[in-house]
Structure 1
Amino acid sequence: MTGRTAAAEAGAAPEAAAPGGSRPGRRIRPLNSAVPARVAWALRALSVAGPVTAWWALSASGLVDPTFLPSPAAVWAAGTDMAASGSLWTDLGASLGRIGLGFLLAVLISVPLGFTMGALPWAQALLEPVIGLLRYLPASAFIPLLIIWLGIGEASKVALLVLGVVFFNTLMTADVVRQVPRRLLEVSATLGAGRVRVASRVVFPYALPGMIDAMRVNAAAAWNFVVVAELIAATSGLGYRITRAQRFLQTDRIFAILVVIGLIGLTIDITLRLVRARVGRWAA
């Protein structure tokens, strides 16, 4: 066989198969590839428009009694009626006040506690078992005790919110702090930084975005508990208004209040996302 023939045959030989059986030369997009901005906004719009359209179609079909599934138009009318009468704003203000105070107290307790547990191994060994046990106790199970200890006023409702949030936020904060790379701590110690300086200048800034993410998750839990708290011995609040509407089968009002809760929760989530993006620009 001549050299030219051998070279030709070598050139005609099929190329080695690419990993995974894909054709050679074909570029494979990573699984977590970024979605173009226009596509992302279209998907967001679809995620809202899809369920609303299905809701409207099901209510318009007459397959479900309007008493059980009111139409979007009926829910809108009920919401505007409550807003015009002022009851919606009164109840919303009462619920926001309880959530604001309860969630703030839970954060003021859980963030320093979780930071200490994440930064100091002895604190983790001392506190994690008992907090891990308490987080599995349903906060709603404490309602009878809270009423006995604090009465049926605002204190018991705020305390329920604190109990529902503080343990989970503590452990999530501790997990975030423990994820600080050890090499950062070693470099800081090599440069002569003391423990307090490392904690304030290295650990806290690195863990702050994760702490805010933990707050985002637990803010939703706070809304759940405020509704539960207002179902019992309350004279105002969105949970109280839901109970009152249930007595008279006013499902349109119940749906309207649920929509308001969802919109407020979404606003809180977006706000915390913006705060995270601003204070944690260095985080990946």
Structure 2
Amino acid sequence: MASETPVVASPAAASPRRRPRRVGERLSPRRYAATAVATFVVLIAVWWAATAFGLVDPLFLPGPDAVVAKLIAQAQNGQLWSDIAVSVYRIFVGFLLATVMALPLGVLMGANAHAEAALEPLIDFVRYMPVVAFVPLTILWVGTDDAQKFLIIWIGTFFQQVLLIADAVRQVPVSFVQLGETLGMGRAGILMRIVFPSALPRIWDAMRICLGWAWTWLVVAELVAATSGMGYRIMTAQRFFATDTIIGYVLVLGLLGLVFDQVMRAAGRRMFRHQRAAS
């Protein structure tokens, strides 16, 4: 009687196992979006459950339905849109002023050792000063109109931007500079045609990060000295214990910041897609 030979399944016939994700591997855009949306859905569900079952006093944490209803009412009477427009205008002007001034200075510091030695310690010294401490000084210097808001945003973002831009310039490979020297290019040509374009993707990311800080400092300025804007409306609501308005406006601020951040991120991917693909 012939002995039976055990049948061994080939590796190909076995059920395929999912390859473990490598460290640093990115998700596909669809999976990334689905995961991000799921996170928000879970947080909102926890918020709703905590308020619906009476675990938190509505005075301190109103439910999502109450907050949404209040935002709809604010939008219908035009107050929400007016506050958003004022705050976005202040952000745009203040951040643009800081960027226009920080860009050439940061590039100079990143490319020139003497400029770095002369300016970086001073900028480091100032950037560790709390921006909140400058609020009463800015009111004394320029009053309480929009110029004070611009100045607060400038103080909160200019010094950070300079250092981040300088660091982006320093990260340009030395081989790029050596290539320009081999081609007989001068220092100015190497800086403007090689170094600055190579550092631009990192500079853009630095600007995107600083834009998030700009929103924080704008709200600080509007909370203290303002007659309009998102921060002013939050402070006014605090006096009347209108927590639905406070939470609603805080959520709108977060949404605006997220939208601006994602727009800059998408623009950066589009503008620098060839450089990022080559890196």
The equivalent of 1:149 in structure 2 is 141
Q: Which residue of 1 aligns with 2:169?
A: 177
Query: Hey, what does 1:212 align to over in structure 2?
Result: 204
1:119 counterpart residue number = 111
Deviation of the 1:40 alpha carbon: 2.2
Partners in 2 of 1:134 and 1:42 — Cα distance? Answer: 42
What is the TM-score normalised by the length of structure 1?
A: 0.88
User: Could you state the TM-score of these two structures normalised by the residue count of structure 2?
Assistant: 0.89
Partner of 1:22: none
Mapped pair 1:64 → 2:65: no
Deviation at 1:59, TM superposition (A): 1.1
1:38 CA drift (Å): 4.0
Is 1:189–2:189 an aligned residue pair? no
- Residue type matched to 2:63 in 1? S
Q: Which residue of 2 aligns with 1:99?
A: 91
Residue 33 of structure 1 deviates from its aligned partner by: 2.5
Tell whether 2:233 aligns with 1:241. Answer: yes
Q: Which amino acid aligns with 1:39?
A: R
Distance 1:99 1:45 in 2: 27
Residue of structure 2 in register with 1:128 after alignment: 120
Q: Give distance in 1, aligned partners of 2:91 and 2:21.
A: 44
Query: What's the offset of the Cα at 1:189?
Result: 0.6
Q: 1:168 aligns with which of 160, 164, 169?
A: 160
* Residue deviations 1:191-233 (CA, integer Å, cap 9, x gap): 1111121111111111111111111111111111111111123
The Cα of 1:28 is off from its aligned counterpart by: 6.6
Deviation at 1:243, TM superposition (A): 0.5
Query: Which whole-Å CA distance do the structure 2 matches of 1:89 and 1:224 have between them?
Result: 19
Structure 1 residue 29, shift from structure 2 partner: 5.0
Where does structure 2 lack aligned partners over 5 or more consecutive residues?
Answer: 1-17
Letter in 2 for 1:166: F
Distance in 1 between residues matched to 2:203 and 2:90, nearest whole Å: 22
Q: Which runs of 5+ in 1 are unaligned?
A: 1-25
1:43 paired residue among 16, 35, 38: 35
Q: How far has the Cα of 1:42 moved from its partner?
A: 2.3
Please give the root-mean-square deviation of Cα atoms over the aligned residues, in Å: 1.5
- CA separation in 2, counterparts of 1:261 and 1:80? 15
Pairs aligned (count): 259
1:118 partner amino acid: G
Deviation of 1:120 after TM superposition, in Å, equals 0.7
Spell out, residue by residue over 1:132-165, the C-alpha distance to the aligned partner (whole angstroms, 9 max, x if none).
0000001110112111111122211210110000
From the CA coordinates, give the structure whose radius of gyration is larger.
1
Q: How does 1:257-268 map to 2 (within 5 A)?
A: 257-268=249-260
